[in-house]
């Protein structure tokens, strides 16, 4: 059995720690993104084929304003419909009707998602770099095989995350 150095164990543990940190950051970013998308539209349903929102009382919110530079579209229900609604007090305090703002993939919300993805990719790249250096330093078949296997796994994650990031940027 080849001798496993303490440096080998530390390098491996550090690389795995960076990868776990990247994974946890991805989970947190996805959760925050999903939550930010749904918090203002709870109970409302978007119908992309008609480009309208439907409220829980079966009324429609229509697009009234689009800002291409900010990547947003504002939808509003007719004021007379909302003002006569029995659920108005739980839905909106506006006398102009309930409004929903939908953001495009180029908005700040998606920019933050891209930022988190970039940080995750950086952490995975650093973890891969640590493993690559340790592959050169390690002696013996089994330690190198272990490092190469983990490096290939990290490489797969880097490729997947990079492809998702590039796909998201092309949608902008």
The model's pLDDT over 53-74, given as tens digits with 9 standing for 90+, comes to 999 999 999 999 988 777 788 9
Say how far apart CA 13 and CA 144 lie, in whole Å. 15
Look up the pTM and report it.
0.63
Report the DSSP beta bridge partners of residue 66. 73
**Residue 33 confidence class, pLDDT cut points 50, 70, 90:** confident
pLDDT reported for residue 115: 85
> Quick check: 170 pLDDT over 50?
no
pLDDT in tens, 128-147: 999 999 999 988 899 999 99
Q: For 58, which DSSP code?
A: S
């Amino acid at each position: 059995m080849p001798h496993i150095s303490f440096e080998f164990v530390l390098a491996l543990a550090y690389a795995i720690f960076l990868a776990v940190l990247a994974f946890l950051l991805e989970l947190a970013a996805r959760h925050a993104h999903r939550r930010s998308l749904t918090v203002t539209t709870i109970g409302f349903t978007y119908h992309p084929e008609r480009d309208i929102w439907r409220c829980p009382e079966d009324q429609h919110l229509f697009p009234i304003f689009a800002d291409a530079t900010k990547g947003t579209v504002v939808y509003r229900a007719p004021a007379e419909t909302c003002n006569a609604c029995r659920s108005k007090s739980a839905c909106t305090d506006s006398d102009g009707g309930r409004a929903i703002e939908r953001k495009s993939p180029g908005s700040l919300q998606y920019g933050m998602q891209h930022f988190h993805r970039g940080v995750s990719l950086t952490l995975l790249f650093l973890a891969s770099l640590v493993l690559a250096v340790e592959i050169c330093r390690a002696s013996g078949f089994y330690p190198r095989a272990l490092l190469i296997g983990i490096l290939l796994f990290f490489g797969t994650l880097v490729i997947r995350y990079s492809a998702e990031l590039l796909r998201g940027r092309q949608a902008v």
